[in-house]
Amino acid sequence: MKLYRGISRQAYWGLAALSFSIFIAAWVVLSRSMESAAVFLPSPLDVVEAGLALFRERDFASDVLASIYRVTAGFAAAVAVALPVGLLAGTAKPVDALVQPFNDFLRYLPVASLIPLSILWVGIGDAQKISIIFIGTVFQLIPLVADTAARVPKHLVELGYTMGASSRQVLLRVVLPWCMPTLHDHFRVALGWAWSYLVVAELVAATSGIGHVIIQSQRFIQTGNVMASIVVIGLVGVLFDQLFRLSRRALFPWL
């Protein structure tokens, strides 16, 4: 197999289907070979049935929509902060010195430890869940944006100044457009981080959301519901990821 060699779309999706098939087959084998599988590892069919029951009996769709709203809001807020801060940190050394060391301190803080403070500061509503997702994402995004901005070819920047552009114009018309394809990929990865903080965000004092269903089901040893909720997170994540892929093709067709 040659490196970087392309394959047909049919081959790509065939291999993708194969990976899922192998995973499901291994899951079936393990669940059948395990004692008390209904408690420890329900079969795929049992998980599907549990998921359908959640949608029928619990109005699980409203929990899914609540989680999508919280993740989207927290992620959007993180991008809105990380993009300008990271661009300035990557292009101006004084801003880099002001932002990056402190950001390095913040991004290593365990987000779960901030839940009690977030409840004290903003209560137990959606704002608290959104703030946890925001905190878990924004401090990871800032250095990615800054590193991307720092790699802009210097001759493009100098060309902008030579043509009479101001620093603001160079930032918006040279640096930002050059960075956008790479930043789009970073944002796609960061959205995965945002979803990974969902259960943490909904861990305490939540009355809705997929994470809340997971925690409640775990308390009553409803393993099928736990796994069905996790599968739903994965499916929604795949949907969001595909939307990012499609938007990349639309926004940057030359790549």
pLDDT in tens, 193-232: 999 888 888 877 778 899 889 988 888 888 999 999 999 9
Domain assignment present for 87: yes
The rounded distance, in Å, linking the Cα atoms of 247 and 244 is 5
Domain assignment present for 88: yes
**Residue 1 has what pLDDT?**
63
Q: Is the dihedral of CA 196, 202, 203, 208 positive or negative?
A: negative
User: DSSP assignment of 118-166, as one string?
Assistant: HHHHH-SSHHHHHHHHHHHHHHHHHHHHHHHHHTS-HHHHHHHHHTT--
Residue 252: pLDDT over 90: no
Model pTM score:
0.88
Domain assignment present for 11: no
The rounded distance, in Å, linking the Cα atoms of 138 and 111 is 12
Domain assignment present for 14: no
Question: In the Cβ-directed half-sphere of 196, how many Cα atoms lie within 13 Å?
Answer: 9
**Residue 116 has what pLDDT?**
85
pLDDT in tens, 4-54: 788 888 999 999 999 999 999 999 998 888 777 677 889 899 999 999 999
CATH of the domain at 77: 1.10.3720.10
The rounded distance, in Å, linking the Cα atoms of 233 and 213 is 12
The rounded distance, in Å, linking the Cα atoms of 179 and 242 is 21
Tokens 């998980």 appear where? Answer: 47
Domain assignment present for 92: yes
Domain assignment present for 117: yes
Domain assignment present for 36: no
Q: How many domains does the chain have?
A: 1
CB 214 within 8 A of CB 226: yes
Domain assignment present for 213: yes
Domain that holds residue 246: 43-251
pLDDT in tens, 61-101: 999 999 999 999 999 999 999 999 999 999 999 999 999 99
